[in-house]
């Protein structure tokens, strides 16, 4: 009996030793019984048949560590708020700094008149405070704003109109739609903003006293800088005997005004341009413009979709970044084409053949590819 107990104990001991000594499953190592499953450190190993052998495999295995999957993805570029921005915007970060270092506030004399209802209000004060920033940027860009300008910071259009020059489009309902905009530039030297128009877009709570959010803060301040950019366009066009507002296609008229206002606001708010451009895109918020080609934005007046602002801004950003020329959007005005080109009544703007001839003269001989590249960039970021 004692011999039987000893033999049983020996058997149990050997069994325990065998279990303890069993090797830990490894992928590809041999196993002995098909279908046996073992869990090791959270991984499920299954004894499986491979050709003529049984080996351990991991159920639903991940790719082998030594296999590198091909990929075209790049790390996302982020702005200071953690939102994705573009490599082109990072190029303009540097160009903005260069323009700022090079530029001076300029010799512009600003004759400011403020409506009593907006005097001392935050929005109105900031609209005037950005003026030296945009004039310095435009000087550094190479399109100085000189002479003097009449700047009206106003409440309502009705009492503003008598102060505007007779040839100002904003004096006439047929030319100016107050439901679409509340600011403007009139040849030769008048810029204005009237806040009554903004009541249709913003809550009355804190109106004129605080900003609703960061992107509309840019919009409410930057619009004044954008009108100074229009003034600069007109001065630059006069050098080459082109009336900017008539010669420019809509997207090259409005897009650069947003671009340069964003650069000025970047310095005003102490933010990188690559962040401000995202604020601008969110402020305008017109993702459908990715479906509109630049050649559909040639009119002198405003389009029904206003893509000359949103799409034109992105197109101007790409144009500057891809050429490294911060004045690239103004180069269009340097054309040697006589007058303001052919006028097309059907679009109330410059004819496509005149427009394309200027593009070929100033920017590239391959006009179609040039437009295609710009359109792809606008589609990428119009969201």
pTM above 0.85, yes or no: no
In a domain, 274, yes or no: yes
User: Tokens 């004399």 sit at which residue?
Assistant: 109
Q: Do 206 and 58 share a domain, yes or no?
A: no
Domain boundary among 62, 89, 117: 62
In a domain, 17, yes or no: no
Domain enclosing residue 243, as ranges: 78-381
Judged against a pLDDT cut of 70, whether residue 205 lies above it is answered with yes
Q: Do 255 and 201 share a domain, yes or no?
A: yes
In a domain, 306, yes or no: yes
Q: Do 36 and 127 share a domain, yes or no?
A: no
List C-alpha distances in Å: 231 to 2, 253, 337. Answer: 112, 11, 22
Domain boundary among 62, 89, 111: 62
Q: Do 48 and 83 share a domain, yes or no?
A: no
Q: Do 184 and 300 share a domain, yes or no?
A: yes
Q: Do 152 and 188 share a domain, yes or no?
A: yes
Secondary-structure breakdown of the chain: helix, strand, coil percentages, each rounded to the nearest 5: 50, 15, 35
In a domain, 130, yes or no: yes
Q: pLDDT for 286-296, tens place per residue? A: 999 999 999 99
pLDDT value of position 350? 94
Most confident of 15-24, 105-114, 348-357: 348-357
In a domain, 10, yes or no: no
Q: Do 291 and 368 share a domain, yes or no?
A: yes
Q: pLDDT for 223-269, tens place per residue? A: 999 999 999 999 999 999 998 888 999 999 999 999 999 999 999 99
Report CA 292 to chain centroid distance, whole Å: 16
Work out the percent of the chain whose per-residue pLDDT is above 70.
87
Q: Do 190 and 319 share a domain, yes or no?
A: yes
List C-alpha distances in Å: 216 to 83, 220, 278, 320. Answer: 17, 6, 11, 25
Q: Do 249 and 362 share a domain, yes or no?
A: yes
What is 267-332 written as a DSSP string?
Answer: HHHT--HHHHHHHHHHHH--GGGGGS-GGG--BSS--SS-HHHHHHHHHHHHHHHHHT-TTHHHHG
How many structural domains compose the chain?
Answer: 2
In a domain, 72, yes or no: no
Q: Do 53 and 162 share a domain, yes or no?
A: no
Most confident of 32-36, 201-205, 216-220: 216-220
In a domain, 9, yes or no: no
pLDDT value of position 355? 97
CA distance 158 to 166: 15
Q: Do 49 and 93 share a domain, yes or no?
A: no
């Amino acid at each position: 009996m004692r011999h039987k107990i000893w033999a049983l104990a020996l058997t149990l001991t050997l069994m325990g030793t065998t279990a303890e000594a069993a090797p830990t499953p490894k992928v590809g190592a041999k196993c002995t019984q098909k279908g046996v499953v073992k869990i090791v450190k959270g991984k499920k190993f299954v004894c499986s048949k491979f050709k003529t052998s049984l080996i351990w495999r991991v159920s639903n295995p991940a790719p082998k560590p030594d296999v590198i999957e091909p990929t075209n993805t790049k790390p996302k570029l982020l702005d200071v708020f953690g939102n994705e921005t573009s490599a082109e915007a990072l190029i303009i970060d540097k160009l903005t700094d260069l323009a700022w270092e090079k530029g001076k506030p300029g010799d512009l004399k600003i004759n400011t008149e403020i409506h009593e209802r907006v005097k001392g209000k935050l929005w109105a004060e900031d609209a005037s405070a950005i003026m030296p920033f945009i004039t310095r940027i435009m000087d550094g860009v190479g399109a100085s704003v000189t002479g003097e300008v009449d700047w009206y910071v106003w409440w309502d259009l009705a009492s503003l109109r008598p102060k505007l020059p007779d040839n100002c489009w904003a004096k006439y309902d047929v030319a100016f739609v107050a439901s679409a905009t509340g600011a403007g530039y009139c040849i030769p030297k008048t810029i204005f903003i009237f806040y009554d128009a903004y009541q249709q877009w913003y809550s009355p709570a804190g109106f004129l006293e605080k900003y609703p959010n960061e992107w509309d803060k840019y919009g409410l301040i930057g619009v004044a800088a954008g009108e100074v950019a229009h003034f600069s366009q007109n001065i630059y066009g006069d050098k080459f005997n082109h009336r900017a507002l008539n010669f420019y296609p809509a997207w090259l008229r409005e897009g650069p005004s947003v671009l340069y206002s964003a650069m000025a606001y970047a310095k005003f708010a102490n933010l990188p341009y690559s962040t401000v451009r995202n604020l601008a895109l969110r402020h305008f918020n017109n993702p459908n413009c990715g479906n509109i080609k630049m050649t559909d934005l040639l009119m002198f007046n405003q389009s029904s979709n206003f893509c000359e602002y949103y799409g034109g801004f992105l197109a101007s950003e790409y144009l500057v970044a891809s050429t490294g020329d911060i004045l690239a959007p103004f180069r269009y005005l340097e054309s040697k084409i006589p007058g303001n080109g052919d006028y097309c009544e059907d679009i109330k703007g410059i004819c496509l053949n005149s427009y394309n001839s200027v593009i070929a003269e100033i920017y590239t001989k391959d006009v179609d590819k040039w437009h295609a590249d710009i359109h792809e960039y606008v589609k990428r970021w119009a969201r």
